[in-house]
Chains A and B, each alone.
Chain A
Amino acid sequence: MNIQIKSGALQQVLALASLVVLILFFTFSSSNFFQFSNIVGILLSTAVIGVLALGSTFVIITGGIDLSVGTVMTLSGVMTGVCITFWGLPVPVGILGGILTGALCGLLSGTAVAKMKIPPFIATLAMMMIAKGLALIISGAKPVYFNDAESFAEVSQGSVLGWLIPGLDIPNAVVIFFIAAVVGYLILSKTIIGRYNFALGSNEEATRLSGVHVGFWKIVIYTLTGAFTGLAGVMMASRLNSANPALGAGYELEAIAAVVIGGTSLSGGKGTIIGTVIGALIMSVLTNGLRILSVPQEWQTVVVGFVIILAVYADILRRRKA
């Protein structure tokens, strides 16, 4: 456990250094980059993918993967819309409905992985399709709008901070992202869930032999990932003030990329929440900066691809030394 924390710290320093270098580079390249409104914009565009990536971190540390987070996020957003708009339920109930929908999908994926022994790749691939289909069914294949519940938009778009400290107009979505990160950090480093999470990813057989109910904890972890995914869905719906069943595909890959850039190993047993936060920030600083420099989009995608390879290669080099 001690070794993990140490290499984790080194990893974070490296990721943080890359982030700082990127920020410095863009600040010197364009005077429009380092401005309050743009920094807030970057944080806001990190928020949804960031929460998604936080959730994915747990499953990836077990050595698993969750390919369904993009479409489950959509399903959760649509479910919130169904609760609030179609059924006329109060906004908090709708939010809870969205988060629970995500958790339930995670529970099902986890059960498929832990009890039915379906490989995570396949089980969550199936969940990806199930969630996509269900999102279309419950929405009637149409976007759901929240125009009747104006307070819902405030969940992401409002600014509690700006209300507390005038001038500090940071949208709630950013605040929720950081709170979610703190909660994720506490779960991963201070609770038994976190401990078994690392144990499962390092050596599942040894964990089983030491008397841990492996199946149960796997289900807990997939459910936890699902709950974060549900929260991301609620945040996205609130930011767009609508839930569109056609959105969400492809977001799982961005979330996985953020986790990997943050130093979490896809083979499991190693990873941190702070790393994921930095990874998500690196992704959005990079895309925002390249956009501000008006780099053609084709090249933006190529650059992000290279960054992923570099991040994973740095991780491999470090492990060889260790």
Chain B
Amino acid sequence: MKIMKKLSVLALILMLTASMLAACGSTGNNAAGGTDSPSEGGSGSGSSSAAEGEIYIPIISKGFQHQFWQAVKAGAEQAGEELGVRITFEGPETESQVDKQIEMLQAALDKKPSAIGFAALDSQASIPYLKKAQENNIPVIAFDSGVESDIPVTTASTDNMAASALAADKMAELIGNEGKIAMVVHDQTSVTGVSRRDGFKKQIEEKYPNIEIVDIQYGGGDHLKSTDLAKAMMQAHPDLKGIFGANEGSAVGVINAVTEMKKEGQIIVVGFDSGKAQIDAIKNGTMAGAITQNPVGIGYETVKAAVAAIKGEKVEPQIDTGFYWYDKNNIDSDEIKAVIYE
């Protein structure tokens, strides 16, 4: 027993040492003197960042696991290659890890990049760090969701209010401008959750007096939870004509619910975002159509704007990266194929 204990302590020490060495090694690779504190960097001797002349733009996203972020990454990398700049792309594991994202932002600033791309999980928490970037003349390009500050040179994002208003118009058209509908939204605290919910709701209330939104529920973007709550909605309102799912997980949940209740075709499903499950549902008729953002475009425009800002060119304060309605009729067109992602 005692030997066991000693051995495990030894193994633990070995592991810790190894991981510390690895950590040192990796910072050393990223930037010579990458462990310099920012104050030292401010003294002017900090030209040691990326190799001479190379433009380096770290991009801090809200996450990396979802297909959406992978598509943003692909767009950023594409622009990086075309413009000959070095890109790194990272984000926290979940979209609630504000502190982790701030650490990533701090680490990126320590590398003294040429510019920085940033999609804030918490627009307030990041402001001190953005100020630091400003002091060091590092242009900040906000993407996906804005920051409540005038520090970012520009924001490259989807106009979510307008995008979900378009979803509302399509829903109204598909149900014949009257009847009961419901909404499954991912959350009520994030910028996208709130603006998509409000954009859809406002459009229905203002333009379609004969349509009633009977229920709005939040499923956290979790497929299984969204399925169960959409089923309960259909149960509570047997005369429901349509359901809007405000992001990928919510829309997939609604599709599952309609399939499980065997109401394919009887309930009009309108979604948001893309993904294989939604594409399949549109092709087999379970889902009428969906709004897709242009994540590749978001990544591309972010890097493009960053390079322009580094060169001192004028950049518009808002870059609308656009959105599209896709359904059975246009899903195979080249224009849509470029913006939907599996």
**Given the interface contacts A141-B64, A291-B229, does A37 sit within 8 Å of B280 by beta carbon?**
no
For chain A, give the interface size range.
35 or more
A145 to B223, CA, bound (A): 14
In the complex, which residue of chain B has the Cβ closest to the Cβ of A254? B225
B232 at the interface (CB under 8 A from A): yes
Whether B70 lies near A240 (C-beta < 8 A) is no
A249 at the interface (CB under 8 A from B): yes
Whether A147 lies near B280 (C-beta < 8 A) is yes
B175 at the interface (CB under 8 A from A): no
Whether B232 lies near A37 (C-beta < 8 A) is no
Q: How many residues of B contact A (CB 8 A)?
A: 36
- With a cutoff of 8 Å between Cβ atoms, the chain A residues found around residue B64 in the complex are 141
Interface residues of A in 256-298 (CB under 8 A from B): 284, 287-288, 291-294, 297
- Chain B, residues 82-110, CB within 8 Å of chain A (1/0): the string is 00000000000110000000000000000
Whether B256 lies near A240 (C-beta < 8 A) is yes
A234 to B292, CA, bound (A): 30
B24 at the interface (CB under 8 A from A): no
Whether A38 lies near B223 (C-beta < 8 A) is no
Shortest C-beta distance, A45 to chain B (Å), equals 4
- Chain A, residues 140-159, CB within 8 Å of chain B (1/0): the string is 01110101000000000100
A239 to B277, CA, bound (A): 13
Whether A297 lies near B8 (C-beta < 8 A) is no
A115 to B188, CA, bound (A): 45
B30 at the interface (CB under 8 A from A): no
- Chain A, residues 290-309, CB within 8 Å of chain B (1/0): the string is 01111001000000000000
**Given the interface contacts A35-B235, A38-B235, A288-B232, does A242 sit within 8 Å of B277 by beta carbon?**
yes
- With a cutoff of 8 Å between Cβ atoms, the chain A residues found around residue B227 in the complex are 45, 239-240
Known: A132-B93, A293-B236. 9 other contacts (CB 8 A): A35-B235, A37-B235, A41-B235, A45-B228, A145-B276, A291-B229, A292-B236, A294-B215, A297-B217
Residues of chain B touching chain A, judged by Cβ–Cβ distance below 8 Å, are 4-5, 8, 64-67, 70, 93-94, 188, 214-215, 217-218, 222-224, 227-229, 231-233, 235-238, 252, 256, 260-261, 275-277, 280
- A sample of 29 cross-chain residue pairs with beta-carbon separation below 8 angstroms, ordered by A number, consists of A33-B235, A35-B235, A37-B235, A38-B232, A38-B235, A44-B260, A45-B227, A45-B228, A48-B224, A117-B5, A136-B65, A141-B65, A141-B70, A143-B276, A147-B280, A236-B224, A239-B256, A240-B223, A240-B224, A247-B222, A247-B224, A284-B228, A287-B232, A288-B232, A291-B232, A291-B236, A292-B235, A293-B236, A294-B214
